[in-house]
Amino acid sequence: MNAAYLIVAFPLAGAIILLFGGRKITDPVSGWLATAMAAGSFVATVVVWATLLGRPGSSRSVDKTIFTWMPVGTLHVSFGLQLDPLSILWSLFVTGVGTLITMYSIGYMRGDPSFSRFFFYLNAFIFSMVILVLADNYLFSFLGWEGVGFCSYGLVGFWFDRDSAAVAAKKAFVTNRVGDFGFMVALYLMFAHFGSFNYSVVLAPLAAGHATIATSTATFISVMLVLGAVAKSAQIPLYMWLPDAMEGPTPVSALIHAATMVTAGVYLIARTAPILHFSPDAQWIIASIGAGTCFLAATIACVQDDIKRVLAYSTVSQIGYMFLGEGSGDYQAGIYHTVMHAFFKALLFLAAGSIIHALHDEQNMKRMGNLRKYLPITFPAFMAGMLALAAIPPFDGFWSKDEVLDAAWHKSPVLWALGVAGAGLTAYYMSRQVRLVFWGKSRWETSAADHGAAGDTGRGGHGAASEVGHGSAAPHDAPWTMTVPLVILAVAATFGWLLNAPFGGLDFINKWLAPIFPSTVATPFTVSTDTKWVLGVVATAFSLTGLALGMGLWRKAVNRPALEPAFLAHAWYIDDGIAAAVSGPLARMATRFSFVVDVRWVDGLVNGVARSAAGAGRQLRRVQTGYVRNYALAIGIGTAALLFYVSVRAGS
């Protein structure tokens, strides 16, 4: 069980080495070092998992304390790890996918001047994420929460000399801050109510049915935690940062904004299930947010031109499904979808990265096309991911989405309807994307010529002007460091669903997570098999329709204004609306406030103190007349006063 320390230690060691020695370690050595560290963490996780497997189901929770962080009165907060099915499951796919992506980045980031810094951030990120999921108390987990937020900032703004990247990083961080506010308020409430942050004190008694908690308290805490989750997982109303975060390198998008960081919110909700059990309102909020986001993001994804933006909105949408599943009371469904999504979304992003790399940083789909002839590895991989995402049986997404939709139906047909509509839209926009990228004419040839004439230098990969070397040559697949992860993930996307198939006793994940979600936490419900079949058929029909529409409508066409309304292209003008509200009256108010408060009050106060001190000094100066007689008079007056005092005291 001591391998648990290694899960945390490996990425930490990698991060520290790369932080201080990064400049001396050249590429690709630093990349391989980071990969080795991530792989070490994954292996340690597997070892712990195997150890837990060897135990009977009920005793699969191990608590390991690294050291006591804050022993303050009755509050004891420590750096501790809780190794139970939920945390180990998360750790498995986080470290696993993380290792693959780190390896992929060696090829993707080749030639970048800040090569080592990137891998420092990757290792630091994996470290923080592992802390987040393995912590045994909310406060330590919050430490990891903040850590991933910071690493996300650093990675999104990796190419910080690009204005758009710096702004996007700031936006991501600030939006996450709003969520962190919710998390912190929840922490305070937890402390006030429970007196501790440890899962064993806050959650275990509730889960075991020994204790109860008032609905209002549960709702308050839950809603605040949901606020945090919403920000981290990019749901309504705090999703706007995720599409902008595509400014970061593609591996970042794969790791952080598809597979790991954005699932932190899902993890938090799953972890807090015992409290949520007492607050049906909070569960409704989660489910509604999930369904709404799922639909909204799917509509926006339908009209995006940037290959990564489609995937970003797709992520937002899919996390909506996870929220929907958890809010409907079926945590295992939500988590199953999380794991599946980690596989195929990471795959899609990495494949997109491969495409971008092949086309020398071209990201606009309207300028791609016909790539299936040139990218023999990337194409099938992308297709596998696309089919999984579109929930076409028998690929991954189908099974997990079905579970989620079953739970949604049980919760409310309206939510189910939104989910199904989202599924249809998902299939549509994915097939649109696939058509635009891989079929049709090779629109990139004319673009490449334009770019060649302009002499642009690409990022991440080839560096020099495209004329020399690869420019006029056809796009080709990436080096093996990039294709091997693609293949592995493609296999996972195709066969990963077997981890929790609803038949033949293959529901490993459900069984694995059963101790975490007993009936006292998640009231079990059954949807009758007939209903399940009907729902499944309906959902699949929607998906297939979407697929067919997408494939058909976009076979030849490149621009279909009717299908790409500006309303959707501008993301329902939500972001623009907020920007207008903030930059207009809010900014004016802020300026005025800053003037009144900062310049007049604060500066006035500070300068006023200085001025009054000087003024007092000037006035006091007048006492120093320099005339001895004045001083003598002062002595005399003092004597008179003294005598007065003495005579008064003596007389009384």
Partner 1 sequence: MSVPSAWYLVLAAVLFTMGATGLLIRRNVLIMFMCIELMLNAVNLTFVTFARLLNDIGGQVDVLFVLVVAAAEVVVGLAIIVALFRRRAAATADDIHILKG
Partner 2 sequence: MLATLSAAMLADTSGQALAHASAWAVFAVGATMILTGAAGVILLRNPVHSALMLVVTLFGVALEFIDESADFLAAVQIIVYAGAVVILFLFVIMFLGVDRKEAIAAEPTKLQKPLAALMGLVVLVEILALSRVDHWASGAPAQSGLLNGPGDNVQKLGQAVYTGYLLPFEMTAALLVIAVVATVVLSKRSASTAEPTGPDPLEQAEEPDESEVAL
Positions touching partner 1 (CB under 8 A) are: 621-629, 632-633, 636
Per partner kind, with CB cut-offs from 5 to 8 A, the member of partner 1, partner 2, none near residue 211 is: none
Q: Quote the CA–CA distance of 425 and 422 in Å, as a whole number.
A: 5
Per partner kind, with CB cut-offs from 5 to 8 A, the member of partner 2, partner 1, none near residue 525 is: none
CA 296 to chain centre: 18
Query: Nearest approach, Cβ of 652 to partner 1 (angstroms)?
Result: 22
Of 605 and 634, nearer to partner 2 (C-beta) is 634
Q: Quote the CA–CA distance of 172 and 312 in Å, as a whole number.
A: 13
Per partner kind, with CB cut-offs from 5 to 8 A, the member of partner 1, partner 2, none near residue 566 is: none
Provide the token pair at 540.
Answer: 């699949």
Per partner kind, with CB cut-offs from 5 to 8 A, the member of partner 1, partner 2, none near residue 580 is: none
Per partner kind, with CB cut-offs from 5 to 8 A, the member of partner 1, partner 2, none near residue 623 is: partner 1
135 strand-pairing partners: 81
Of 523 and 624, nearer to partner 1 (C-beta) is 624
Of 1 and 633, nearer to partner 2 (C-beta) is 633
Per partner kind, with CB cut-offs from 5 to 8 A, the member of partner 2, partner 1, none near residue 589 is: none
Tell me the three state secondary structure of residue 594: helix
Per partner kind, with CB cut-offs from 5 to 8 A, the member of partner 2, partner 1, none near residue 473 is: none
Of 612 and 625, nearer to partner 2 (C-beta) is 625
Query: Nearest approach, Cβ of 651 to partner 2 (angstroms)?
Result: 4
Of 67 and 627, nearer to partner 1 (C-beta) is 627
Of 74 and 619, nearer to partner 2 (C-beta) is 619
CA 75 to chain centre: 30
Query: Nearest approach, Cβ of 627 to partner 2 (angstroms)?
Result: 6
**Interacting residues of 619 by C-beta distance below 8 A, sequence separation 6+:** none
Per partner kind, with CB cut-offs from 5 to 8 A, the member of partner 2, partner 1, none near residue 73 is: none
Q: Quote the CA–CA distance of 209 and 275 in Å, as a whole number.
A: 11
Written in H, E and C, the secondary structure of 16-48 is HHHHHHCCCCCCCHHHHHHHHHHHHHHHHHHHH
Q: Are 496 and 397 in contact (CB under 8 A)?
A: no
**Interacting residues of 411 by C-beta distance below 8 A, sequence separation 6+:** 287, 327, 328, 329
Q: Quote the CA–CA distance of 518 and 621 in Å, as a whole number.
A: 81
The residue written with tokens 């789909």 in the block is 365
Provide the token pair at 503.
Answer: 């038949």
Angle (nearest 5°) at CA 477 between 472 and 479:
110
Q: Quote the CA–CA distance of 470 and 420 in Å, as a whole number.
A: 44
- Exposure string (b/e) for 543-576, b if CB count within 10 Å is 16 or more? bbebbebbbebbeeeeeeeebeeeebeebeeebe
Query: Nearest approach, Cβ of 636 to partner 1 (angstroms)?
Result: 6
Query: Nearest approach, Cβ of 620 to partner 2 (angstroms)?
Result: 16
Q: Quote the CA–CA distance of 647 and 644 in Å, as a whole number.
A: 5
Of 545 and 630, nearer to partner 2 (C-beta) is 630
Angle (nearest 5°) at CA 234 between 19 and 393:
105
Of 468 and 642, nearer to partner 2 (C-beta) is 642
Amino acid, res. 460? G
Of 210 and 621, nearer to partner 2 (C-beta) is 621
Of 449 and 646, nearer to partner 2 (C-beta) is 646
Query: Nearest approach, Cβ of 595 to partner 1 (angstroms)?
Result: 39
Provide the token pair at 179.
Answer: 């969520």
Write out the residues near partner 2 by the rule CB under 8 A.
Answer: 625, 627, 629-630, 633, 636-637, 639-640, 643-644, 646-647, 650-651
Q: Nearest-CA neighbor of 315 among 268, 281, 347, 282?
A: 347
Per partner kind, with CB cut-offs from 5 to 8 A, the member of partner 2, partner 1, none near residue 74 is: none
Check residue 465 and report its DSSP letter.
B
Query: Nearest approach, Cβ of 649 to partner 2 (angstroms)?
Result: 10
Alpha helix ranges (H) inside 390-473: 396-411, 413-438, 444-454
Of 24 and 629, nearer to partner 2 (C-beta) is 629
Q: Cα separations (Å) of 88 from 133, 223, 273, 354, 458?
A: 8, 26, 17, 30, 40
Per partner kind, with CB cut-offs from 5 to 8 A, the member of partner 1, partner 2, none near residue 643 is: partner 2
Of 174 and 635, nearer to partner 1 (C-beta) is 635
Provide the token pair at 292.
Answer: 């709404």
Per partner kind, with CB cut-offs from 5 to 8 A, the member of partner 1, partner 2, none near residue 646 is: partner 2
Query: Nearest approach, Cβ of 621 to partner 2 (angstroms)?
Result: 14
Q: Cα separations (Å) of 648 from 635, 640, 641, 642?
A: 20, 12, 11, 10
Query: Nearest approach, Cβ of 637 to partner 1 (angstroms)?
Result: 10
Of 524 and 626, nearer to partner 1 (C-beta) is 626
Q: Are 22 and 117 in contact (CB under 8 A)?
A: yes
End-to-end CA distance of the chain: 85
Query: Nearest approach, Cβ of 613 to partner 2 (angstroms)?
Result: 26
Q: Are 564 and 299 in contact (CB under 8 A)?
A: no
Query: Nearest approach, Cβ of 594 to partner 2 (angstroms)?
Result: 49
Query: Nearest approach, Cβ of 615 to partner 2 (angstroms)?
Result: 22
Query: Nearest approach, Cβ of 593 to partner 1 (angstroms)?
Result: 43
Of 545 and 625, nearer to partner 2 (C-beta) is 625
Query: Nearest approach, Cβ of 645 to partner 2 (angstroms)?
Result: 10
Provide DSSP, 59-86. Answer: G--EEEEEEEEEEETTEEEEEEEEE-HH
Q: Quote the CA–CA distance of 446 and 258 in Å, as a whole number.
A: 32
Q: Are 436 and 368 in contact (CB under 8 A)?
A: yes
Of 160 and 644, nearer to partner 2 (C-beta) is 644
